[in-house]
Structure 1
Amino acid sequence: MTQTQQDPESTVALEGRSWLTLLRPPHLGVTVVLAGGTALHAINIYLVTAMLPSVVADVGGLRFYAWSTTLFMFASVVSSALVPKCLSALGPRNAYRLALAAFVVGTLACAAAPNMAVLLVGRTVQGIGGGLLIGLSYAMISATLPAALWTRAAGILSAMWGVGTLVGPALGGAFAQWGQWRIAFLVLVPFALVVALLLRSTMPGARTGGETAPVAFPNLAVVAAAVLTVSATSLSHQALVNFGGLVVAVLLLGLLIHRERTRAPRLLPAAAFTPRSPLRPLYATLTLLVIASTTEIFVPFYGQELGGLAPLAAGFLGAAIAAGWTVGSMVSAAWTGASRLLVGVAPIVSALGLAGLALVSRPSASLVTVLLWALLLFVAGAGVGIAWPHMSAAAMTVGDTPQEKDTAAASITTVQLVATSLGAALAGTVTNLAGVSGDSTQIGHSSQWLYGTFAVIVLCGVLFAHRVIQAAAATGPHEKAQ
């Protein structure tokens, strides 16, 4: 029996008024599982990024350096799209066990890797487990928590990405500096086991009344091809190659949309293509906000080259976007009655932060200027955070059956991962075109072009956010379910 069934309907509205409700029985265990799965995936991403140079120096395979991330993201996108199938075929509890088992096996393979080939296999298996974990976390919010807590729970999951950006680099950097990068991988295993031990008391054993969801393998292959193309071409230092990869990926995603609209089975909910559906503008808004956040890839580089920061300080400067995302999510999730307003202003907030960075990025920056960078990066991230929990909770209400709701919730993860890949490639293309290999003046121009271009991109999200608000008004806001 789910938590929604266990709680009296009369207490739902009262429960939604306090964060403490998620942090005490009967919801504490569920919160730990949902947040823990997301945190494992997020921390792992940034942990490996921080210590990968030390790993390569030990096991070799420098020419395959970037494929550690490429294969991980590729596997994550594919597995996140399989979440509805896993839920209907295995049930929530066993689906989580499968995800955790894949994550742990992949982690152990990475820790024991004698060479780059084994490491890449381990990273791929890790990606399979990680993609399932974050997809399951969003999908299971509506099945394990009262509707009044959905927005706050989505806010906590969103905040876990900020935790990953703060904890991952610190943990990975510390172990790499001590020459113990293998132990850094092993540190993740006990946390995965804790989540596994909580499954019996928190997750339903099986879904009832639903048929096994068919898997849209052709559509999944198109998504995988788009992500692999954009990830692989983003590794090049040639802007033409970067741009070509983006064009091919966009064409493949156009083919995906056509297939999703015209034939079943689908990766996305069927309701995404019905008239006045909130999902299409919601996906577009999410995509543009996530793309804006990928500017963090180059923040440490600009911090060192333009601000004269040490690597560790530059790394924490890069975490300012994630910090803003985290704080924005946690604060806005409590304002369920203002969800439409928050979704509408989110792209504007992010655009203001990025536009400000374009104006103040210059060589030989003073300490005051660097602190201003940190503040503006925080604002850019906060724009993403204030919209995320509300749009995630809105997606969870789409669908008439548990299977359809699972698909809608899990699709948030798929859209996020694809948008991250596209954003990373686009950031690489813009910086390559602007030039990052010259003197500090040229690098300063590069930062201005990057921040300015992405400010314009995310500002376009206002048009889609407005359509999300209109669709919500037409179909009924999710707050009414709360």
Structure 2
Amino acid sequence: MTGGRLARRTGPLFLAAGVVTLEFAAAVTGFVASSLLPVVTADLDARDDLGLLIAGSTLGLFVALPVASRVLRRLGTRGTLAAGMVAYLGGLALAASARSAWMFALGQFSAGLASGLLAVFGVSAAIRHLDERLRIQVIAVSSAMWILPALVGPAATLGLERLVGWRWTLLLPVPFVLFGRLMVVRAAKGEPPEEGPPRPLARTLLVPLGAAGVVLGGGWWPLTIAGALVTVAGMIAILPEGTARLRPGTPAALGAMVLFAAGYFGADSLITVLLTSGFQVSLGRAAIVLGAAPLCWAVTSLVATRFTAARRFPAAGLGLTALGTAVLAIALAVGGSFAVVLVAWAVGGIGVGLAYPGLYIRATTAGPDGFTAAELATAVITAECLGQLLGRAIGGTLSSSGGLFASYVVFAVALLVSAYAARRAG
């Protein structure tokens, strides 16, 4: 009896620890991949295939999202976790031993596919087993997991690459991923998969098809726009009904997540370009601004979640981020200083820190809509990842044609509409 009560108490803690560890692993993976990209490109003589090197893991993730619920239903909990770990380790091994860009991309695709499957399982388990108070704390701590990799990740990665080479360095995230998965497996051991009506597969596969057009378009704007439109069509098929109309409740929260990701991550992706080309600032000083927003995001999230009113922060926080983004656009148009840009983008990060935990909770709470945990997990990951993809695609397309000011106006408007959607989420 005592053992049963202890298991009920420790199970959520193991799950929370696993989710946080996996977020840290995702941060390490991202910084390792971006830091090693120039080295991998040179070693594989893949300067003309840069899109392939970057796109593999992204496309794998987008293939995983529409099929994750089917895999869980077909293979069950243990089968999905086993298949995901085999695909992840096999994909990394293939990428690390690659002799061509295509082989590297295939390995990254397999690892991205596995990461998507395992992420849907982990998030859905958190939705089912963690109460709202613990979940919002886990979200805040997960955001803070990006601080250390952001500060030391690039330098540590390049130092390790000099010692053992990029192939072994690529395997650096594996221990963190394995530990995180072990915690999640222990917490969700023996859990039966959820039952729910599957969405039409053909329409949901429009997401990876459109994403391929966006990430492999090579900057050719007709293909980028066509890919974005196809991606949006697939996204509407995956997300719960009413998301595109910002129907009050969970659908509005998911719509706010898409718009937030498009506006914030789109603006973030062009910060260094804005500073170096628009304000003639050195790359070193631009990096200070680039790091200010995520640092403010992480610290503010940790503080904001201590307040019981954290659920009320999303609209105000997103409005604050929209204001910071608008200031960047105005400074670009009429002139501004480095200090103005630094403060504006730091304020944008504070706004995200206020908004994100509460918005994530709203987007992953079924309420009266009756969504399953697997549906909500797939939906929130889809909303955030595709919002990022679309924001960066829009920004890249506009800025490449000289429309950097227009890009930041679009990002500010997207964030403002996301604040409105967050209010409709309740």
* Global fold match (TM > 0.5): yes
Could you tell me whether the CA contact under 8 Å between 1:352 and 1:455 is conserved in 2? yes
Number of the residue aligned with 1:375: 343
Change (3 A) 1:177 1:57: same
Number of the residue aligned with 1:293: 264
Within the candidate set 33, 54, 62, 1:69 is matched to 54
What code does the residue aligned with 1:450 have? Answer: S
Partners of 2:304 and 2:221 in 1: how far apart? 36
Q: CA deviation at 1:431?
A: 0.9
SS of residue in 1 equivalent to 2:216: helix
Within the candidate set 415, 418, 421, 1:464 is matched to 421
SS of residue in 2 equivalent to 1:455: helix
Write the mapping of 1:253-272 to structure 2, written as runs, cut at 5 A. Answer: 253-254=232-233, 257=236, 260=237, 267-269=238-240
Number of the residue aligned with 1:356: 327
Write the mapping of 1:144-163 to structure 2, written as runs, cut at 5 A. Answer: 144-160=129-145
Q: CA deviation at 1:316?
A: 4.9
Within the candidate set 298, 309, 315, 2:282 is matched to 309
Change (3 A) 1:290 1:324: farther
Could you tell me whether the CA contact under 8 Å between 1:297 and 1:424 is conserved in 2? yes
What code does the residue aligned with 2:133 have? Answer: A
SS of residue in 1 equivalent to 2:401: helix
Change (3 A) 1:274 1:318: closer
Residues 1:229 and 2:238 are matched in the alignment: no
Partners of 1:347 and 1:197 in 2: how far apart? 35
Partners of 2:172 and 2:92 in 1: how far apart? 10
Write the mapping of 1:7-26 to structure 2, written as runs, cut at 5 A. Answer: none
Change (3 A) 1:66 1:198: same
Could you tell me whether the CA contact under 8 Å between 1:308 and 1:364 is conserved in 2? no
Q: CA deviation at 1:176?
A: 5.0
Partners of 1:271 and 1:412 in 2: how far apart? 14
TM-score by length of 1: 0.76
Could you tell me whether the CA contact under 8 Å between 1:103 and 1:130 is conserved in 2? yes
Could you tell me whether the CA contact under 8 Å between 1:2 and 1:144 is conserved in 2? no
Number of the residue aligned with 1:217: 201
Q: CA deviation at 1:128?
A: 0.8
Residues 197-234 of structure 1, C-alpha deviations (whole Å, 9 max, x = no match): 434532232216x447636311221122222222223x
Write the mapping of 1:39-78 to structure 2, written as runs, cut at 5 A. Answer: 39-78=24-63
Moved more, 271-280 or 152-161: 271-280
Change (3 A) 1:181 1:275: closer
Paired residues in the alignment total: 422
Residues 239-285 of structure 1, C-alpha deviations (whole Å, 9 max, x = no match): xx42652355235524763xx4xxxxxx3346869995413321221
Partners of 2:392 and 2:6 in 1: how far apart? 39
SS of residue in 1 equivalent to 2:85: helix
Q: CA deviation at 1:467?
A: 1.6
Number of the residue aligned with 1:101: 86
Number of the residue aligned with 2:298: 326
What code does the residue aligned with 1:388 have? Answer: Y
Residues 1:450 and 2:407 are matched in the alignment: yes
Q: CA deviation at 1:428?
A: 0.5
Residues 369-398 of structure 1, C-alpha deviations (whole Å, 9 max, x = no match): 445433322222332332222222223321
Residues 1:347 and 2:318 are matched in the alignment: yes
Within the candidate set 6, 9, 34, 2:8 is matched to 6
Partners of 1:5 and 1:275 in 2: how far apart? 40
Within the candidate set 118, 127, 144, 1:142 is matched to 127
Change (3 A) 1:424 1:44: same
SS of residue in 2 equivalent to 1:113: coil
What code does the residue aligned with 1:423 have? Answer: G
SS of residue in 2 equivalent to 1:383: helix
Structure 1 portions without partners, runs of 5+: 8-24, 261-266, 436-445, 470-482
Residues 4-59 of structure 1, C-alpha deviations (whole Å, 9 max, x = no match): 9935xxxxxxxxxxxxxxxxx56442222112223323332232122211111111
Moved more, 342-351 or 166-175: 166-175
Could you tell me whether the CA contact under 8 Å between 2:364 and 2:377 is conserved in 1? yes
Residues 1:119 and 2:90 are matched in the alignment: no
SS of residue in 1 equivalent to 2:366: coil
TM-score by length of 2: 0.85
Residues 401-460 of structure 1, C-alpha deviations (whole Å, 9 max, x = no match): 99712211331001111111101111112211226xxxxxxxxxx3x4433332233222
Change (3 A) 1:461 1:397: closer
Residues 55-83 of structure 1, C-alpha deviations (whole Å, 9 max, x = no match): 11111121111222223212112213333
Could you tell me whether the CA contact under 8 Å between 2:272 and 2:283 is conserved in 1? no
Partners of 1:110 and 1:228 in 2: how far apart? 19
Change (3 A) 1:111 1:213: farther
Change (3 A) 1:147 1:310: closer
Residues 285-341 of structure 1, C-alpha deviations (whole Å, 9 max, x = no match): 111211122222222344445454355x5445323332233233323333343413x
Change (3 A) 1:80 1:459: same
Change (3 A) 1:275 1:192: closer
What code does the residue aligned with 1:118 have? Answer: M
Residues 1:284 and 2:260 are matched in the alignment: no
Number of the residue aligned with 2:365: 397
Partners of 1:420 and 1:203 in 2: how far apart? 30
Partners of 1:30 and 1:2 in 2: how far apart? 17
The percent identity for this pair of structures is: 22
Could you tell me whether the CA contact under 8 Å between 1:93 and 1:199 is conserved in 2? no
SS of residue in 1 equivalent to 2:282: coil
SS of residue in 1 equivalent to 2:306: coil
Partners of 1:52 and 1:275 in 2: how far apart? 38
Structure 2 portions without partners, runs of 5+: none
Number of the residue aligned with 1:128: 113
Moved more, 171-180 or 69-78: 171-180
Number of the residue aligned with 1:18: none
